[in-house]
Structures are given as C-alpha cells and as structure tokens.
Amino acid sequence: MNRQNRQAWSRASALVVLALIASQCTPSQPAARRAGSGVQSDAAVAAQKTYVAPGDLDEYYMFSSGGHSGQIYVYGLPSMRHLSTIPVYTPYPATGYGFDDDSKKMLGDLTWGDAHHPALSETKGDYDGRWLFINEMNGRIARIDLRDFKTKQILGPVPNLHGNHASSFVTPNTEYAMMATRFSRPVPNRVVGIDKYATEYKGIIAGVKIDPQSGHMSLAWQILMPPFDYDLGDAGKLASDGWMFFTSYNTERATGKLEVTASQRDQDYIAAVDWRAVEKAIAEGKGDVIDGVKVIDPKKVPGLVYLMPCGKSPHGVDVSPDGKWIIGSGKLQGVTTAFNFEKVQTAIRNKDFTGEEDGIPVLKYESIKDAEVAVGLGPLHTQFGTDGWAYTSLFIDSAIAKWKLGTWEVVDKAPMSYSIGHLAAAEGDTVSPDGNYLVGLNKLSHGRHLNVGPSQPESSQLLDITEEKMKLLYDAFTEPEPHYAQIIKADKIHPIEVYPREENKHPMAVWDLKDTGVTRNGKKVLVKMIAVRSTLTPTSFEITAGDEVTVAVTNIEQTTDELHGFGLLDYNINLVIDPGETKTVTFIAKKSGVFAYYCTNFCSALHQEMQGYMIVK
Ligand code: K7E
Ligand code: CUA
C-alpha cells in the first residue's frame, strides 16, 4: 500500500471504530445526541478526517508564526500535531540555538523578536519547498533552510526602517521579500519633536533581494513614504506580477491616542508599488544614499508608487490566485473591497487621480474597485480556495465568511472560537490553492481548552472546506502569539536526516579520536572534541583561569536521530550537535575549579556515562 492508500485505509477503519464509539456515547454528549442510528455524528466525521493513525504521516506542513516568542511552530495537517519548533529570533535551549558562536552572532544583541508573517519561497507563484522567510518587528527578516529546518540568516536591523510589520511576503519567483514600517520616524534617525510628525517623520518600504541559488538576502533599495503605518502586504502574481501592495492606516498622520486620532478619515490607502520599475530606477542610479542604503523619494522619481483608497484602518491585503483582484478592507467595516488590477492600470494610464500625498498620486476609488462584498463585521485577511472561493476572517463577528470572486456572493459563515485574526488555506498564497483545509488562527480562545490560569492557551481551528458549507474539524493549542501561517504539501519538502560528513567543511571539525585535544596559543585555548556514542572525547581538559576558550564539538555520527549535547555546568553553555555537525562555543574561563560537562540528548543506553570535566586552574 502506498502512503495515501494506507492513510485512507487507516482512516476508514478509524471511522468504523469512531462511529461505534459515537453510537455508544453517553447522552450528555451533544454530538452523540444528534447522531441517529446508523448515521455518523459530526464529531465522528470530524475525527475521521483529522485522524492520522500511528505510523502514518500528515499531508501538509503548516508553518505558524510564533509572534513575540520569536519562533516558528511546525504543525502537521490534518492532525494538527505540533511537530517541531524552529527558533529564529530567540534562543532555544532545546536545540542549543543562541548558545553556540554562530547562532549567538546571528542573534546579536537582541534576544527577542516579534515575528508575524512566514513566507515560503516560490517558483512561478507556487511554493517550491526551498526556504521559509519570516519578518520581525525590530527591522529584521530571517531565512530558514527547509533542507534542515534551521535559521541560516538574519538580515538587519536594517537602517531607516522601524517596526517591520508589513513583511515578509515574497514575489512569485522569490526575487524579493518585502519590508515596511509600522512606525514612522525621522529618516535618517535623529531627534525631531513629535509635533513635526506629519512632515518630518517618514515611512519606508524596502525590497530585500534574494539570491536564487543560495537564498542569501541583501537589502536592495528603500522607498521614502509618507508617515502612515504600513501594516500588511502581498505580492502581485500572474496578471499583477511585478507589483507589491501594502495596506496603511493613520493616513491622518496623527500622533497620540491613535485609536481616536487615526480614525478620522473614512478611507486610508493601499500603496501599490511597481517593483520592476523601482529596480530599473535603481539600476539607472536614481535615489539617494541614506545611512548606507539607496533610498528613492517618489516625489523625485514619479511612476513607481500609487495609493489606492481603501476602507478606514485596513489590515490585510490579499491578491487572488490569478492576480486579477486585490482584496482589502477597513477593519471596522462590514464589507471588503475587491479592487480590479486592470482598472488600477487603466486609472494610472488615464491619470485618474483625486489628489496626492507627498508626491504620490491617489487613484480614484470608484474607478478601481469591482465590488464591495458584504462579508460581515471586522474583515481582516482573505485566503483562497479552488474555483474562485475566497475566505475572509472577521474579527468582530468572530467568524469566517466564504464568498466567490467575480459573483461576489457570500455563501457561508463559520463561527470561530474566537476572534479570529489571520487564516491560512492549504497552498493558499499560491497561484493554485488546494481548497481542502483552512486554519483559523484565533487571538483569544476563551474556554476551548482546560483552564491553565490567566494566560489562556490560544487556539487554531481546522476547517474542512471541500464542501459548500465549511466544517469545523479540530481545535489545536497554539503557542503564543498566533499571527500568520502558511501550509505546504508535505511532499514538496525533502529534509535531510544527517549532515553528510563530506559536506562538513568546518575548520575546527575533527573526525578521528586521535585529532581531539587541547592546543594553546598564548591565552587562547582551542579544545577539539568528538561526540559519539557514548563518550565526549577528551573526557577532561585543563585550562587556566582567564583563558579564552573555544570548544569545538563534532558529532561524528552518521545515524539518524543520533544527536549529542554539550552542557557545561555553571558556565551557561549548552550546545546540541546534530549528526555530522560541528559547533563551537567561545568563552572566558572566569571561574576556577572543577566543572562537569555532559551529553544532554538521550542517545544510548550509556548516555548517562557521556560526561567529562573541565578543570580551571
Ligand atoms: Cu497578527 Cu498579520 Cu501581525 Cu493580522 S497580524 S491578525
Ligand atoms: Cu550523547 Cu547522550
């Protein structure tokens, strides 16, 4: 049996069992009460659809932003099992992240980050399973390699850009990831009174160039924008390829109590950026260097940015799979607007403008919109399924509305428990969404889990969207703080299980026990160590107080799942070394005495024997 058949078979047999259980349930269970004899209860159907039998594997990976935990949580769908945590902006002792020299250097002075929007790399508008990008509020963006699920690069904090929320949305061939400011400030940063906010503070939109071979990110250009709060973004695709869209609020340029001062106007904007034209302008030498970055002022270089009026205080902006429509709405409204990209282009050609903001033309709302869809109160984000189906999260209604692109009819609403923020559909940001699963990422979850005190667990809710009515299948605990997630077919990702020995080019790697040991160069001491079941070699080493010590540990295993750790007590040192990997840690031996080190990852029957001593004279 292949994997799919095996899954179908195990679900079918599970269904029989569950239906039996459901039919014998006590009457206190409403699902059982609803089930007539011989008819499966809703609960049994839902359980069957999410059941992944022991030994079977999920169909999808979901990469969920960990918000201000600074991490990414990996889930399997449809089981909603939490499979892994990828530390990105925060030290994570479980994998030793933020303790070894390389990851410590990558994190720099910041040991937290507020991550919001993961973006899988794309080829021709389809997830290609190579990399995952995620933004962070302290002006940073990171790349995770999906070959080993490890953070490989953190770019930033980048100059001029403050509060990187409208990020990391990639373009259809991963040419760029984006960054944009939630918080405007003087550019370059200097002290200017808040009374000068409207004229002296600036927003920034930035393009981060991604190397197509290595995935390496570099800051390519920035655009100087009016001091609005840029909130979310999405890249154009197919029909609208070459463009980027960003929502903005506080177009009042207000300060102070924004919930009042920034809600004066009926409309704010979606900024439409022609990034190919920006690329060309930069190549032609346009723009000024500010704090080391090429910055383009649209007042001096027209034709790159346009403002599309949108309902007040918009949050998400989402481009339909064919690229024809741009969906955005005020988050206090009862409708969401579908803007027609063709009409946007026509309005630009005809100079159908109603005004300008700092030299950026404002397009006429009536000329560029196709429809206002009555989705319900508090529309935030829209995801897409097959056949033109769209799903909009409604924060105030605490529901998801299902509606159709083109006919604009709303056909279904599913209540969420509760106060949904983002939502994620299977392959939902691609040119061809799968249309089978949808996950609501809820901001609050009152009463959905056992009570664990004031910090209530958040929840993500899995829905079946294969039929006309959306069906709730599962509630899963979600680590704080849920923002966006992306869902990719499992067979698109092929992670390695060990680092092949021949790929290890680390200058301090050793593979033969006779090459281990201590070398000294003045006050600098290098300890080359091998970790292999069940010894850390050398089993002891001596140094002198005040030495600068580098311990380089190579795990010479080539066996799956044979990780070893190097925990050094009292020195706050905790490495975890995967099979075939070398990691280093450098520290000053400040304390003298005897200190034990040991393997932290249970690796064999004699794991407990895997220990040694550092003697500091
Ligand atoms: Cu939570 Cu995208 Cu930061 Cu919406 S954001 S809800
Ligand atoms: Cu190696 Cu435990």
Question: How close is the Cα of 495 to the center of ligand 2, in Å?
Answer: 23
Is residue 363 included in any domain, yes or no? Answer: yes
Clarify whether residues 382 and 441 are in a common domain.
Answer: yes
Number of the ligand 1 atom closest to the C-alpha atom of 395 = 6
Q: Has residue 211 got a pLDDT over 70?
A: yes
107-136 confidence digits (pLDDT tens)? 999 999 999 999 999 999 999 999 999 999
pLDDT (0 to 100) of residue 27: 37
Is residue 480 included in any domain, yes or no? Answer: yes
Number of the ligand closest to the Cα of 382: 1
Question: How close is the Cα of 432 to the center of ligand 1, in Å?
Answer: 23
Question: How close is the Cα of 92 to the center of ligand 2, in Å?
Answer: 19
Q: What stretches of 26-174 show up as alpha helix (H) in DSSP? A: 30-34, 42-50, 101-107
Clarify whether residues 463 and 506 are in a common domain.
Answer: no
339-351 confidence digits (pLDDT tens)? 999 999 999 999 9
Among 1-10, 114-123, 260-269, 454-463, name the one with the lowest average pLDDT. Answer: 1-10
For ligand 1, whether the C-beta of 379 sits within 6 Å is no
pLDDT band at residue 462 using 50, 70 and 90 as cut-offs: very high
Is residue 370 included in any domain, yes or no? Answer: yes
Instruction: List the CATH number of the domain containing 370.
Output: 2.130.10.10
Number of the ligand 1 atom closest to the C-alpha atom of 117 = 2
Do 572 and 525 meet the contact criterion of CB atoms below 8 Å apart?
no
Do 303 and 243 meet the contact criterion of CB atoms below 8 Å apart?
no
The residues facing 308 across adjacent strands are: 270
Q: Is the peptide bond before 157 cis (omega within 30 degrees of 0)?
A: yes
The residues facing 72 across adjacent strands are: 65, 86
Number of the ligand 2 atom closest to the C-alpha atom of 604 = 2
CA quadruple 29, 30, 35, 37: dihedral positive or negative?
positive
Is residue 8 included in any domain, yes or no? Answer: no
- Quote the tokens at residue 429: 């940001």
Clarify whether residues 439 and 578 are in a common domain.
Answer: no
Question: How close is the Cα of 84 to the center of ligand 2, in Å?
Answer: 20
CA–CA separation, 506 and 63 (whole Å): 30
- Tell me which residue range forms the domain holding 526: 501-616
Is residue 9 included in any domain, yes or no? Answer: no
Number of the ligand 2 atom closest to the C-alpha atom of 564 = 1
For ligand 1, whether the C-beta of 68 sits within 6 Å is no
Cβ atoms within 10 A of the Cβ of 294, count?
17
Question: How close is the Cα of 234 to the center of ligand 1, in Å?
Answer: 13
214-227 confidence digits (pLDDT tens)? 999 999 999 999 99
- Report the C-alpha dihedral over residues 452, 422, 87, 557, rounded to 10 degrees: 100
Clarify whether residues 424 and 515 are in a common domain.
Answer: no
Closest CA to 549 of 600, 607, 595: 595
Backbone φ, ψ for residue 257 (5° rounding): -85, 85
Angle (CA) 28 443 448, round 5°: 15
Number of the ligand closest to the Cα of 422: 1
* Domain end call among 470, 492, 514: 492
Query: What residues are in contact with ligand 2 under a 6 Å CB criterion?
Result: 564, 599, 601-603, 607, 610
Number of the ligand 1 atom closest to the C-alpha atom of 481 = 1
* Domain end call among 492, 516, 540: 492
* Domain end call among 492, 527, 559: 492
pLDDT (0 to 100) of residue 16: 44
For ligand 1, whether the C-beta of 528 sits within 6 Å is no
Question: How close is the Cα of 87 to the center of ligand 1, in Å?
Answer: 20
| 3-class secondary structure, 367 | helix
Number of the ligand closest to the Cα of 598: 2
Q: Has residue 445 got a pLDDT over 90?
A: no
Number of the ligand closest to the Cα of 421: 1
Is residue 462 included in any domain, yes or no? Answer: yes
Pair type for strands 524-532 and 548-555: parallel
What ranges make up the beta strands (E) of 490-592?
A: 517-521, 524-532, 535-537, 540-543, 548-555, 564-568, 573-577, 582-588
Beta carbons within 8 Å of 354's beta carbon, 6+ residues apart: 309, 362, 363, 364, 365
User: What is the side-by-side order of every strand in the sheet holding 471-478?
Assistant: 420-425, 437-442, 458-464, 471-478
Clarify whether residues 68 and 97 are in a common domain.
Answer: yes
Clarify whether residues 462 and 521 are in a common domain.
Answer: no
CA–CA separation, 573 and 582 (whole Å): 15
Question: How close is the Cα of 315 to the center of ligand 1, in Å?
Answer: 8
For ligand 1, mutation pick of 117, 165, 382, 484 (most atoms within 8 Å of CB): 484
Question: How close is the Cα of 140 to the center of ligand 1, in Å?
Answer: 17
Clarify whether residues 606 and 467 are in a common domain.
Answer: no
Q: Has residue 468 got a pLDDT over 70?
A: yes
pLDDT (0 to 100) of residue 517: 98
pLDDT (0 to 100) of residue 598: 98
Place of tokens 């021949």: 502
pLDDT band at residue 197 using 50, 70 and 90 as cut-offs: very high
Mean pLDDT of the chain: 93
- Quote the tokens at residue 613: 């001593």
Q: Has residue 457 got a pLDDT over 90?
A: no
Q: What percent of the chain has pLDDT over 70?
A: 94
Q: Has residue 36 got a pLDDT over 90?
A: no
Is residue 21 included in any domain, yes or no? Answer: no
Place of tokens 């197509």: 212
573-609 confidence digits (pLDDT tens)? 999 999 999 999 999 999 999 999 999 999 999 999 9
Question: How close is the Cα of 256 to the center of ligand 1, in Å?
Answer: 22
Question: How close is the Cα of 269 to the center of ligand 1, in Å?
Answer: 17
Question: How close is the Cα of 379 to the center of ligand 1, in Å?
Answer: 12
Question: How close is the Cα of 426 to the center of ligand 1, in Å?
Answer: 18
Give nearest CA residue, ligand 1 atom 5: 483
Give nearest CA residue, ligand 1 atom 6: 421
509-560 confidence digits (pLDDT tens)? 999 999 999 999 999 999 999 999 999 999 999 999 999 999 999 999 999 9
Number of the ligand closest to the Cα of 536: 2
Q: Has residue 23 got a pLDDT over 90?
A: no
The domain total for the chain is 2
Number of the ligand 2 atom closest to the C-alpha atom of 536 = 1
Clarify whether residues 537 and 446 are in a common domain.
Answer: no
Number of the ligand 1 atom closest to the C-alpha atom of 316 = 4
Clarify whether residues 409 and 523 are in a common domain.
Answer: no
Clarify whether residues 483 and 561 are in a common domain.
Answer: no
Clarify whether residues 462 and 571 are in a common domain.
Answer: no
pLDDT band at residue 243 using 50, 70 and 90 as cut-offs: very high
Half-sphere exposure of 386 (CA within 13 A, CB side): 8
Place of tokens 């250097």: 105
Clarify whether residues 571 and 454 are in a common domain.
Answer: no
CA–CA separation, 92 and 86 (whole Å): 9
Do 511 and 449 meet the contact criterion of CB atoms below 8 Å apart?
no
Is residue 514 included in any domain, yes or no? Answer: yes
382-437 confidence digits (pLDDT tens)? 999 999 999 999 999 999 999 999 999 999 999 999 889 999 999 999 999 999 99
Number of the ligand closest to the Cα of 605: 2
Instruction: List the CATH number of the domain containing 606.
Output: 2.60.40.420
Question: How close is the Cα of 466 to the center of ligand 2, in Å?
Answer: 46
For ligand 1, whether the C-beta of 315 sits within 6 Å is yes
Q: Has residue 20 got a pLDDT over 70?
A: no
pLDDT band at residue 15 using 50, 70 and 90 as cut-offs: very low
291-333 confidence digits (pLDDT tens)? 999 999 999 999 999 999 999 999 999 999 999 999 999 999 9
pLDDT band at residue 38 using 50, 70 and 90 as cut-offs: low
Place of tokens 């009292």: 570
Give nearest CA residue, ligand 2 atom 1: 564
Give nearest CA residue, ligand 1 atom 3: 116
